Amino acid sequence: MLLIEDHDEIADLLRLYLEQEGFTLIHAVSGEEGLERMRERAPRAVLLDLGLPGMDGVVVCREIRKQSDVPILMLTARDSETDTIIGLEVGADDYVTKPFSPREVVARLLAVLRRAEERPITAKVRTVGGCSIDAGRREVVTGDGTKIRPTAREFDLLWYLAEHVGLVLSRSQILEAVWGYDYFGETRTVDVHIRQIRKKIPEIAIETVWGVGYRIDH
């Protein structure tokens, strides 16, 4: 487990709880150090503070995503909607807002790890809007042959919608299926991910069904 956090007290507190859960914690105090540890140690998950001196947490998250699908849990300092949305947009799996309880962090972390391990490994392909969505390679190939690699969570969400073409799926249904039954975050998370998928793959029309949720039509 890699923790990138400049605040020592928070790091010590998280270390205590995570080690009780049997995790080994590598602590980096800056984004630069975090990326270096990332290369050396290939951690199972990353806890990433958004407000870091020097290289910002958002930049660090983007850098990690260029090379890895490792689950990332973002620690945001303020209950600022902008911060959390930016975090999810650059590829974090989930976030917790400071001040947080270490128990909450552990619970969220276990949830992202479990989801990462449950990702489908069988090679299955579905075609939607002229694009083929490949669950084995976890990539989307558009009609003109362009390959797009969504983040792990975006892919899981897209796959879930593609498996239920024609059906309207509510935000809470999506949260349960894609984030897990014990997820206690907000439905806003779904909206942010949908927006990202639409931006990356405009060929796939994800319809917003007002007051209900989302659907990919036939």
Cβ nearer to Ca ion, comparing 7 with 171? 7
Distance CA 68, CA 65 (A): 5
Q: How far apart are CA 180 and CA 189, in angstroms?
A: 13
Q: How far is residue 101 from each of residues 75, 147, 205, measured CA to CA in Å?
A: 12, 40, 39
Please, what is the minimum distance in Å from the beta carbon of residue 7 to Ca ion? 5
Query: Closest separation between CB of residue 31 and Ca ion, Å?
Result: 11
Nearest-approach distance from CB 30 to Ca ion, in angstroms: 10
Residue among 102 and 129 whose Cβ is closer to Ca ion: 102
- In this complex, which beta carbon is closest to Ca ion, that of residue 9 or of residue 117? 9
Going by C-alpha positions, the residue among 173, 174, 175, 161 that lies closest to residue 206 is 161
Looking at the chain, the number of H-run helices and the number of E-run strands are 8, 12
CB of 52 to Ca ion, least distance (A): 6
- 4/178 with CB nearer Ca ion: 4
Binding site for Ca ion (CB under 5 A): 6, 49, 51
Compute the distance between CA of residue 91 and CA of residue 106 in angstroms, rounded to an integer: 20
Q: How many CA atoms lie within 13 A of 69 on its CB side?
A: 16
Residue 12 or 118: which CB sits closer to Ca ion? 12
Phi, psi of 94 (to 5 degrees): -165, 175
Pairing status of strand 72-76 against strand 26-28: unpaired
Residue whose C-beta lies closest to Ca ion: 51
Q: Please state the closest distance from residue 51 (CB atom) to Ca ion, in A.
A: 4
Least distance in Å: CB of 75 to Ca ion? 8
Which CB atom, from 2 or from 175, has the smaller least distance to Ca ion?
Answer: 2
Among 107, 130, 90, 82, smallest CA distance to 179 is for 107
